[in-house]
């Protein structure tokens, strides 16, 4: 069992993990790890510095030195992300950046370089960890592991709505192709592929409203939360 309690929420793109995790972190007062954002920042930094997304060694050097800071706003509704003291919260949320993130994330050296940085987020009173391999690799001893899933069509629709709300220009056809490409890469890579941990609770959210997903997770974790409050 880890020193500090960790709850992992894994799943594919567009499943709603981000919203769920922000809500849980706010309600519990626990820390939040958005591990996807770390891979996104790395891809963004590589593209800005003209480092090839196929150059595993340079990417892993960059990952070791990455000066990235996460700040949760006072209301804790939003995670702001800074690279070298420059805010890049919006820049990394494009689907292009998500796709570039999944290209850099397939490399073992890159994942190794980012492992301890992610584990460092586990501090008292506890951690809500959002990602693809939180329950399988980064926090295998987590107290509770949740794996959220939904049909590809539903995930594309959710992501489309989210990107539109954030003011991004996006078409359903293009988004659908990009998400399918990203899913395939994330599931088929040899290093930390996207899959539920054997001891994860898998929730199919296809026909659920976000509030229903949160309620189901809350029922699963409330015992653990109260133990540590």
Q: What does the alpha-carbon distance between residue 229 and residue 219 come to, in Å, rounded to a whole number?
A: 16
Can you tell me whether residue 201 is helix, strand or coil?
A: strand
Residue 7, interface with ligand C5P (CB under 6 A)? no
Instruction: For the segment 84-123, give every residue that binds ligand C5P (CB under 6 A).
Output: 98, 101-102, 105
The C-alpha angle with vertex 131 and arms to 61 and 125, in degrees rounded to 5, equals: 100
From candidates 62, 150, 182, 217, binder to ligand C5P by CB under 6 A: 182
Residue 31, interface with ligand C5P (CB under 6 A)? no
Q: What does the alpha-carbon distance between residue 226 and residue 229 come to, in Å, rounded to a whole number?
A: 5
Residue 13, interface with ligand C5P (CB under 6 A)? yes
Neighbouring C-beta atoms of residue 126, cutoff 10 Å:
23
Q: How far is CA 139 from CA 45, 61, 89, 174, in A?
A: 26, 23, 25, 34
Residue 126, interface with ligand C5P (CB under 6 A)? no
Residue 163, interface with ligand C5P (CB under 6 A)? no
Residue 132, interface with ligand C5P (CB under 6 A)? yes
Listed ranges 30-38, 65-73, 120-128, 202-210: which one lies at the site for ligand C5P (CB under 6 A): 30-38
Q: How far is the CB of 163 from ligand C5P (least distance, A)?
A: 12
Q: What does the alpha-carbon distance between residue 126 and residue 8 come to, in Å, rounded to a whole number?
A: 11
Site residues for ligand C5P per CB under 6 A: 13, 35-37, 39-40, 98, 101-102, 105, 131-134, 182, 186
């Amino acid at each position: 069992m880890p020193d500090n309690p960790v709850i992992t929420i894994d799943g594919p793109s567009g499943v709603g993990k981000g919203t769920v995790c922000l809500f849980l972190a706010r309600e519990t007062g626990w820390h939040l790890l958005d591990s996807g954002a770390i891979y996104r920042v790395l891809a963004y930094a590589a593209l800005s510095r003209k480092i090839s997304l196929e150059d595993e060694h340079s990417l892993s050097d960059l990952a070791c030195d990455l000066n990235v800071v996460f700040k949760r706003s006072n209301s804790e509704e939003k995670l702001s992300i800074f690279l070298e003291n420059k805010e890049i919260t919006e820049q990394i949320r494009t689907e292009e950046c998500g796709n570039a993130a999944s290209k850099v994330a397939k490399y073992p050296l890159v994942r190794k370089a980012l492992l301890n940085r992610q584990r460092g987020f586990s501090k008292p009173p506890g951690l809500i960890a959002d990602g693809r391999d939180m329950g399988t690799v980064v926090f295998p001893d987590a107290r509770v592991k949740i794996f959220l899933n939904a049909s590809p069509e539903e995930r594309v629709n959710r992501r489309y709505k989210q990107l539109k709300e954030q003011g991004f220009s996006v078409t359903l056809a293009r988004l659908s192709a990009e998400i399918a490409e990203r899913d395939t890469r994330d599931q088929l890579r040899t290093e930390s592929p996207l899959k539920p941990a054997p001891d994860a609770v898998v929730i199919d959210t296809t026909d659920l409203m976000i509030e229903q997903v949160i309620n189901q997770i809350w029922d699963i974790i409330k015992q653990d939360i109260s133990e540590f409050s």
